[in-house]
Amino acid sequence: MLTYLGRRLILMLPVAFLVSVVVFALARLAPGDPAVILLGEEHDPTAVAALHHELGLDQPLPVQYLVWAGRATRGDLGRSIQTHQPVLQAIGERLPATLELGLAALLWSLLVAIPLGTVAALRRGTPLDYLASGFTVAGVSIPNFFVGVLLILVMGLALRLFPVGGFVPLNQDPLLNLQHLVLPALTLGTAGAAINMRFTRSSMIEVLGQEYIRTALAKGASWLQVVRDHALKNALIPVVTIVAIQVGSIIEGALVTESVFSWPGVGKLAVDGIFNKDYPVIQGIVLCAALSYLTANLLVDVVYAWLDPRISYR
């Protein structure tokens, strides 16, 4: 198991390298000059040229890449062009907010998906199943930003149940923190809930058709026991895969939601970075996101073994 883990960790290196080259190139292929954006209304050619020099943007691209990559291997992702803040520090400051939102969204999606998916599988073909499927289609099809605005207008403005945006740190006021968390978490979790519900349902249907289920029932186990102890545990393996990918994509999914709710997380940092062509910020976040994907995938394989002892590693 340890050798396996070690091998997987080493394999992450070339992937990280490729990601760094691609993101470096993509950020620069996008049109727009960060110095012009930074100076905005007041950009005049001398100021732009001076800023290019200050930022090292007057160097050839390969040189710029090597400088950046060299520092990155030492854990220095550079400083934001816009704010001069070290990128790693900026990401670190925002990570707790993003993780909180991402985990809350995931929790919400699982709370909805697993019971609903199980029930839909058990009551296959009934109106309940159709309702659940309808929820899936809607959840996956309606874009995040629309769900977000809808929730702001209905739950925030019309019913005044929750604040419409902003953030209060958990350690400052836990209750206010949770109140601010509800709408963004619902927004971010809805699409995930729909997908997870779909996976739970189909996987459950498949498992329920297995012979060991029939055997268990024949041995006199109650329907509830069979579902809980035999069917659900096995049905959840594909769900774990998809959930893990969702964990890895917390940052990505939060891009839109954090912007809509002014949630001070990594996603909002990324969106602002992209709009401002803040190369170090874009590169730093994509690199971190890629690493978190890789880590999530690794964890999935470990969790598999726990869920299904027949899976072994060489």
Partner 1 sequence: MALVLLFVTACGGGTGNGGAPTSEATPKAGGTLTYAIESELRTLDPLASTQLVERTVMYQTYESLVTVDPQLNIKPGLATSWTASSDGTTYTFQLKTGVKFHDGTDFNADAVKFNLDRILKAASSPRKSELANLQSVDTQGASTVVLHLKKPDSTLLAQLVDRAGMMLSPAAVQKLGADLGRNPVGAGSGPFKFVEWKRDDHLTLTKNADYYGKKAYLDQIVYKPITNDDARSAGLKTGEFDQIRLAAGKDVASIKADSNLTWKDLPGLAFGGFELNHSKPPFNDKAKAQAVAEAVDRAQVVKNVFFNVSAVSHGPIPPSSWAYDASEKIYDKADPNKAKSIATGFTFTMKVTNTPDNIQEGTLLKDQLAKAGITMNIQPEEFGQLLTEAEAQNFDAALVGWSGRIDPDGNMYSWFHTDGGNNDGKYSNPQVDKALEDARTTTDQAKRKADYDQAQKLLVEDAAYVFINHPVAAQISTNKVHGYVLYPDGMPRFATVWKS
Nearer to partner 1, 21 or 49 (CB): 49
- Which residues have a Cβ under 8 Å from the Cβ of 244 and sit 6 or more positions away? 296, 297, 299, 300, 303
Region near partner 1 per CB under 8 A, out of 5-13, 113-121, 159-167, 227-235 = 159-167
Both tokens assigned to 91: 């990401």
SS (H, E, C) the chain: CHHHHHHHHHHHHHHHHHHHHHHHHHHHHCCCCHHHHHHHHHCCHHHHHHHHHHHCCCCCHHHHHHHHHHHHHCCCCCECCCCCCEHHHHHHHHHHHHHHHHHHHHHHHHHHHHHHHHHHHHCCCCHHHHHHHHHHHHHHHCCHHHHHHHHHHHHHHHCCCCCCCCCCCCCCCHHHHHHHHHHHHHHHHHHHHHHHHHHHHHHHHHHHCCHHHHHHHHCCCCHHHHHHHHHHHHHHHHHHHHHHHHHHCHHHHHHHHHHHCCCCCHHHHHHHHHHCCCHHHHHHHHHHHHHHHHHHHHHHHHHHHHHCCCCCCC
* Contacting residue, 67, 131, 275, 307, with partner 1 by CB under 8 A: 275
Least Cβ distance, residue 153 to partner 1 (angstroms): 7
Interaction of residue 156 with partner 1, rule CB under 8 A? yes
Q: Which is nearer to partner 1, 8 or 43 (CB)?
A: 43
Q: How far is the CB of 78 from partner 1 (least distance, A)?
A: 14
Tell the smallest beta-carbon distance from residue 258 to partner 1 (Å): 9
Please select the residue that binds partner 1; options are 8, 76, 165, 295, rule is CB under 8 A.
165
CB of 45 to partner 1, least distance (A): 8
206 binds partner 1 (CB under 8 A): no
Q: How far is the CB of 175 from partner 1 (least distance, A)?
A: 16
Q: How many residues bind partner 1 (CB under 8 A)?
A: 53
Comparison of 148 and 248: residue with beta carbon closer to partner 1: 148
Least CB distance to partner 1 at residue 68 (A): 19
Q: Enter the tokens of residue 196.
A: 């997870």
Site string (101-130) toward partner 1, x via CB under 8 A: ------------------------------
Contact between residue 313 and residue 272 where contact means Cβ atoms under 8 Å apart: no
Closest CA to 56 of 98, 23, 28: 28
Interacting positions 19-78 with partner 1 (CB under 8 A): 31-48, 50-51, 53-54
Task: Write the CA distances from 196 to 98, 140, 171, 293, integer angstroms.
Answer: 21, 11, 31, 18
Interface mask (CB under 8 A) for partner 1, residues 235-274, using x and -?
Answer: ------------------------xxxx-xx--xx--x--
* Choice between 33 and 308, CB closer to partner 1: 33
Q: In whole angstroms, how close is the CB of 260 to partner 1 at the nearest point?
A: 5
Which residue number, 40 or 220, has a Cβ lying nearer to partner 1? 40
Q: Of residues 125-154, which lie at the interface with partner 1 (CB under 8 A)?
A: 148-149, 152-153
Residues that bind partner 1 (CB under 8 A): 31-48, 50-51, 53-54, 82-85, 90, 93-94, 148-149, 152-153, 156-157, 160, 163-167, 259-262, 264-265, 268-269, 272, 275-277
